[in-house]
Amino acid sequence: MSYTWKDIKLAALQKMFAADGDQIVADESTKDYLAGMPYAANEGLDRLATAGKFITKSLNLAHLPAKNLLQDNSISDGNSVFTAENGHSYYFQYSGIGTAVISGGDEDVTISIDSFGTFSEFKGNYANSGNNTITITFTSPYPSKVKNIAIYADTFPTINGVDIVPEYGKYVKYDLKELAPSFYSMFGNSLVYEGESSTIYLNTTDYYKESDHILVLPKDKPVMYTVYYNAYPGHISNETEDDYVMEVDPEVAVLLPIYMASVLYMDDDNGIATSYRNFFEVGLSDLKNTSSNPGKEKFTSEWV
């Protein structure tokens, strides 16, 4: 059974003795309730959707790291030279004070670096219409280091004035909150990738999570991943249509009008509103107790 936004509003009004049977009446007696419903609903939805009965969604992730024209390198001296044929973009991390000069293409590019105590990221496309061999020359008068340097044959898109050149390293990081705006948390160990002839469930020691929402994958395993995640619900606004179907399961949806009534009816009858809130908290606790979603962060590889 699915619940619409109209069902939720009507149930909330009934809890506040402001509905005409099974009809929503918009008049002086209900206008304040109706105006406050979107905020109350969103507040309740965020609590309910993170209490254990999660909304599960999936994200298709094309993990296809760009090929580095240079040999793999980790950390080099801050005074180093790197060359590659047919380079059209670059990436590196540098710690110290120095200069990077990119040459060999249409015109030289000089990057001034001031980054002590941390490795700062530098990347961009490089105009090389002649497909020439390009050189990146690092110089510094101080002890400095450069790491994860890459020269790519690809030219990457520019969005809002920023060249979207991928980072380079042993592992590639993906911010799941950026890729899936509704992302709340990973769904256990449900990380799946598509093999050449079958679907393979990936449990790998090279798969990590950072800060609950950063997925870290090895760059040397280019495949298509399906990431299952727990999601925040779609939010309600004053423009939400009555026939909008709530994303939550029925056992979650039935608690939402109770929460809304506990918020909206507080000024009219604090006792009844408090009773509703207590009832809601009991229901919320039951959702948490029945949750069976696992929460591991690191796994070992296995074909199934």
Under DSSP, the state recorded for 245 is B
Whole-number percent of the chain with pLDDT over 70: 89
Using CA atoms, how far apart are residues 238 and 36, in angstroms rounded to an integer?
9
> Residue 298's pLDDT is what?
37
Cα first-last separation, the chain: 34
All structural domains of the chain, each given as residue ranges with its CATH number in brackets, are: 5-49+233-268 (no CATH), 75-163 (2.60.120.260)
Q: Indicate the DSSP class of residue 52.
A: S
The mean pLDDT value of the chain amounts to 87
Cα 165 to Cα 8, 123, 228, distances in angstroms: 46, 6, 26
Q: What is the pLDDT of residues 58-84, one digit of tens each?
A: 888 888 888 999 987 678 999 999 999
- Tally the C-alpha atoms within 13 A of residue 46's C-alpha that lie toward its C-beta: 9
Which residues neighbour 58 within 8 Å (Cβ) at sequence distance 6 or greater?
A: 226, 227, 228, 229
Contact present, 89 and 163 (Cβ < 8 Å)? yes
pLDDT digits (tens, 9 = 90+) for 133-172: 999 999 999 999 999 999 999 999 999 999 999 889 888 8
- Give CA–CA dist 74/134, Å, rounded: 20
Split at pLDDT 50, 70, 90, the class of 121 is very high
Instruction: Tell me how far apart the alpha carbons of residues 10 and 23 are, in angstroms, rounded to a whole number.
Output: 7
DSSP 219: T
Residue 217 CA to residue 17 CA, distance in Å, equals: 54
Q: Indicate the SS3 state at residue 230.
A: strand
Q: How many CB atoms lie within 10 A of CB 194?
A: 14
Q: Is 288 or 207 the better-scoring residue by pLDDT?
A: 288
pLDDT of residue 204: 53
Q: Could you report the per-residue pLDDT of 81-113, keeping only the tens digit for each?
A: 999 999 999 999 999 999 999 999 999 999 999
79 CB neighbour count, 10 Å cutoff: 16
Other Cβ atoms within 10 Å of 214 Cβ, number? 14
Report the pLDDT averaged over residues 112-135.
Answer: 95
What pLDDT, on the 0 to 100 scale, is given for residue 302? 36
97-106, 186-195, 245-254: which is most confident: 97-106
- Single-letter amino acid code for the residue at 303: W
* pLDDT value of residue 228: 86
pTM value is 0.71
For residue 258, which of 54, 51, 40 has the smallest C-alpha distance? 40
- In the structure encoding, which two tokens stand for residue 38, read together? 């979107």
